[in-house]
Structure 1
Amino acid sequence: MPSDALPPGPNFLATFGFVRNPFRFLDECARRYGDWFTVRVPGVSPFVFTSAPDAVREVFLGDPDAMHAGEANRPLGAFMGERSSLFLDGAEHLRQRRLLLPAFHGEQVASHADAMRDAADNVIATWPTGQQFPIHPQMRAITFETIIRTVFGFEDDSTGAELRASLKALFELFSSRLGTLFSLPAMRIDAGPWSPWGRAARLTHRIDAILFAEFARRRKQGVEGRTDVLSMLLAARYETEQPLPDNVIRDEMYTLMLAGHETTAATMAWVINRMVSQPDVTHRARAEVVSVLDGKQLDSSHVGKFKYLEAVINETMRLDPVIPNFGRTLTRPLKIAGHDLAAGVTIAPCIYLVHRRPELWPNPEQFNPDRFLEVRQSPYTFFPFGGGARRCLGAAFATYQMKIVIAEILSRVDLKPAPGYKASATRRGIAFAPSEGMPVIASAQSEEPLEERQGKIRDSSLRSERHKDRT
């Protein structure tokens, strides 16, 4: 099919707007071109963006052999490794995904609640009061420590300290402006000690040495009784009873760190951005947390009861998705929702635009968490973690951690926005986060008499019930 048969779209120069301000770029394209538009970058196959819900459904339910997510994800793989399930397709992807799934089942995720809470508490305790500081790096510190403990299973010994230092350095490089360019093969050149790619390569060699030595140590000692993801992967077996090769485990560990760490941290920063600008939402979420905890330390028994808080997180992911689209590269010509697309084209259902369609989301620009309490949303109209057979493996883990971290923040400090600050999206690695690190000001919570606190909780509950009656 000739390229001019694809839907119209912006010219090459205009696509730089996707890097500078992705949400504004997508809004402008939707206004000008409608539900379908093509984004072209020299040297890369065309990306056909769509916000048509019927197209999203067809992609999620379509033949995975005809639509390769792994191939579409390939530009993200500068550090994550060829054997990561993120870059596999077909039977090979399915086989590896099945081995990863047990590490992210509900009971397994819940077993990490205390580690998630402790990571949050340790970071919150360092926050200055009465002075401005960026919250996004603080969220990254929490997710980083959580992953070190629950995914890697490293402790505070010398090996753990060396791994932390090396991973932090690599992640800073990966999430920098230069790191964004590593998806381009031309940027992967080791030009000496000052070369960004050369520095990244040396860091990965150092991390690999630590990881492979740890793999050997745990295989020798056994992993029985351990709940971290690394140990579960070391114990996993293919249907042939063969263990996962070390290079496969290594690539999955990098993916969990580099992809999961920043996306969760960025989402929590967006949640805080929404909450500090709407005190009524903050008050209602805090009232729920106070009521659920009832003076006790947060543990796994509480997390499932944070219904309104989860709705706040979901509504934030609807309006501020940290990854605005996903892709499937077509292996053969396909007709999708009435559009003929050639082999080699990448179809890119747009999370950001679908989440703003007025026929799906009344008053779409309004931040209204109650919409997630009133009805169960369709996986074809709300999909911040992707969907179908390629839905993010870590979705439950990420949501669970976000509920714990935000609940701990609400129960311990008050946050206010920095004067004059207005968030815009800026790229951090593979995710888009609030600009300038999302500056806030923290203050200690004032002590309230029990009767007053309970009264506010009752008032919040009554407002929620009245809202449901109106809708």
Structure 2
Amino acid sequence: MRATLPPGPRTPTLVQTIGWWSRPTAYVERLRDRYGKRFTMRLLGQPPFVVLSDPADLREVFTAPPEVLHPGEGARLLEPIVGAHSVILLDEGPHLEQRRLMLPAFHGERMQRLTGLMAELTERELDAWPVGQPVQLHGRLQALTLEIILRAVFGLDEGARLDRLRDRLTAILSFGESPVSLLPQAQRLLSGRGRFGRFERDRAAVDRELYALMDERRRDPGDRDDVLAMLLAATREDGSPMRDEEIRDELLTALVAGHETTASSLAFAFEQLARAPHVQERLAADEDGRYLEATIDEVLRLRPVLPNAEPRLVKEDVTIGGHTYPAGTILILAAALVHTDPDIYPAPHAFRPERFLDAKPGTYTWIPFGGGRRRCLGASFALLEMRLVLAAAAERFTVHAVGPPERTRRRMITITPGDGARVRLARRERAATTSADVEAALVTP
């Protein structure tokens, strides 16, 4: 197999794993510069990874038959957190069925009904942001996106259960900060011990709370717009409902896929805005939402928090871009490399929202949410959150840098600002926006 794969670094697997983990963006960019848009990496405990960043290759991968490439099997390292029934981990027929059940809950129109709740939670969070002193926004944005998911997705009302789940889920998410958490061998060997043992106890406590919540909601469903309500009402083609275990796994999937990713995207947005006063002024004066959309597109291009679209495990020998990959290989679609390719984006490391004002992002050249039949179900949810937070913040604050540009660091499968998006906020001299104003501004252009 080794002889058939594209060239790549010959350094020990431990060295490659450390580079991939500790410098997730710079390391792969260096490999691209040396080996081109197609190269092979070897990481501890993993099959060979072939990293692809040519849009033509991406198109072939996104449109390949589902039985040939398995993204679900390629993402098995997430199973301890999201569960075996997660739509992320399923392939072929089971994936399509689960996706069909979930799609109505994440439809754009359904998401718009949650705007009022999101706006209220955003207003509350922004009210607490300090001005005139350095502040790390990443942690505050994590708290906000977690609260939005607990309220809008899990359907939790304020009270003791919300507090308990917030604490337990925060602990579960912090588990992914260690590279050991992503190694299947370590997960098996250390099960029940130390940090793994605490994680397993937290996960069991979350399960108890969620199953009790489902029982209560079935007895008294009420009139609710949250995602849990939609999943409880979903039925298969034969009329059967989703099982509790499936709903639990999809709720945790929404948490993992939508909490850290959106918080980090917003943190990167503020970190970039702090160095672009002209962008801030255009955002504050934006009346039709076009510049806000272009700014979000540019943030997600320049800092895709999921630097690799769902890894695909090759199940049958497959030819992509004229190169044949044997079964057992994992194909990585490198969003971070596509988005900084100078052949696609002039001055690729410059923050220029204007590049998207008159040109929509390309299907195979802008992939922060993946693509094809595996495109992220929660994309509309994440984009709505970003519109809401950035529009409200632009009305309230100007953002100023307090240090050099931040390096990226890895947190589980995502990348985040290395210094937590450390900025200084100043109050903008205008009336603060109201929730009603924010909601009116969030209509997608």
Q: Same fold (TM over 0.5)?
A: yes
- The equivalent residue for 2:377 is 393
1:447 Cα deviation (Å)? 4.1
- The equivalent residue for 2:440 is none
Identity of matched residues, %: 37
Distance 2:188 2:197 in 1: 7
- The equivalent residue for 2:304 is 321
Distance 2:317 2:419 in 1: 43
1:76 Cα deviation (Å)? 2.2
Comparing 120-129 with 163-172, greater Cα deviation is found at 163-172
| Contact 1:190 1:197 (C-alpha < 8 Å) held by counterparts | no
| Contact 2:280 2:398 (C-alpha < 8 Å) held by counterparts | no
- The equivalent residue for 2:358 is 374
Q: Number of aligned pairs?
A: 427
Distance 1:192 1:368 in 2: 47
- The equivalent residue for 1:429 is 412
1:190 Cα deviation (Å)? 8.3
Which of 136, 139, 155 pairs up with 1:134? 136
| Contact 1:104 1:394 (C-alpha < 8 Å) held by counterparts | yes
- The equivalent residue for 1:455 is none
The question of 1:446 aligning with 2:429 is answered: yes
Which of 33, 41, 60 pairs up with 1:31? 33
CA separation of 1:159 and 1:331: change in aligned 2, threshold 3 A: same
| Contact 2:75 2:88 (C-alpha < 8 Å) held by counterparts | yes
SS in 2 for 1:167: helix
- The equivalent residue for 1:187 is 186
Comparing 129-138 with 146-155, greater Cα deviation is found at 129-138
CA separation of 1:209 and 1:15: change in aligned 2, threshold 3 A: closer
Distance 1:190 1:8 in 2: 33
Q: How does 1:134-283 map to 2 (within 5 A)?
A: 134-174=136-176, 176=177, 178=178, 180-188=179-187, 195-223=194-222, 225-283=223-281
| Contact 2:16 2:42 (C-alpha < 8 Å) held by counterparts | no
| Contact 1:85 1:252 (C-alpha < 8 Å) held by counterparts | yes
Q: How does 1:58-137 map to 2 (within 5 A)?
A: 58-137=60-139
| Contact 2:58 2:333 (C-alpha < 8 Å) held by counterparts | yes
Deviations 1:262-316 (A, max 9, x none): 000000111111111010011101111xxx4xxxxxxxxxxxx422111111111
Letter of the 1:248 counterpart: E
Distance 1:131 1:259 in 2: 32
CA separation of 1:60 and 1:191: change in aligned 2, threshold 3 A: closer
SS in 2 for 1:427: strand
1:319 Cα deviation (Å)? 1.2
SS in 2 for 1:19: helix
- The equivalent residue for 1:330 is 314
- The equivalent residue for 2:439 is none
Distance 1:243 1:193 in 2: 33
1:165 Cα deviation (Å)? 2.1
1:106 Cα deviation (Å)? 1.4
Which of 341, 347, 362 pairs up with 1:363? 347
Greater C-alpha Rg: 1
Distance 2:186 2:58 in 1: 33
| Contact 1:60 1:389 (C-alpha < 8 Å) held by counterparts | yes
| Contact 2:110 2:225 (C-alpha < 8 Å) held by counterparts | yes
Distance 1:193 1:344 in 2: 30
Runs of 4+ in 1 over 6 A off after TM superposition: 190-194
1:191 Cα deviation (Å)? 6.3
Distance 1:447 1:232 in 2: 40
Letter of the 1:379 counterpart: T
TM-score by length of 1: 0.88
Which of 41, 44, 48 pairs up with 2:43? 41
1:194 Cα deviation (Å)? 7.0
Distance 2:305 2:99 in 1: 23
SS in 2 for 1:359: coil
CA separation of 1:329 and 1:189: change in aligned 2, threshold 3 A: closer
CA separation of 1:28 and 1:120: change in aligned 2, threshold 3 A: same
Comparing 240-249 with 9-18, greater Cα deviation is found at 9-18
Deviations 1:55-92 (A, max 9, x none): 00001111111010101111122211001000000000
The question of 1:8 aligning with 2:7 is answered: yes
Distance 2:406 2:190 in 1: 36
CA separation of 1:415 and 1:366: change in aligned 2, threshold 3 A: closer
| Contact 2:399 2:425 (C-alpha < 8 Å) held by counterparts | yes
Distance 1:397 1:233 in 2: 16
Distance 1:331 1:190 in 2: 27
Distance 2:73 2:376 in 1: 16
CA separation of 1:34 and 1:247: change in aligned 2, threshold 3 A: same
Deviations 1:308-356 (A, max 9, x none): 1111111111111111112111110011000010011111121111112
Letter of the 1:410 counterpart: A
Distance 2:165 2:338 in 1: 40
- The equivalent residue for 2:437 is none
Gaps in structure 2 of 5+ consecutive residues = 432-445
Distance 1:430 1:353 in 2: 16
Distance 1:330 1:191 in 2: 29
Distance 2:74 2:304 in 1: 19
1:374 Cα deviation (Å)? 1.1
Letter of the 1:324 counterpart: P
Letter of the 1:128 counterpart: P
1:14 Cα deviation (Å)? 3.3
- The equivalent residue for 1:468 is none
SS in 2 for 1:188: helix
Letter of the 1:317 counterpart: L
RMSD: 1.6
Distance 2:123 2:180 in 1: 35
SS in 1 for 2:20: helix
1:443 Cα deviation (Å)? 2.1
Comparing 236-245 with 36-45, greater Cα deviation is found at 36-45
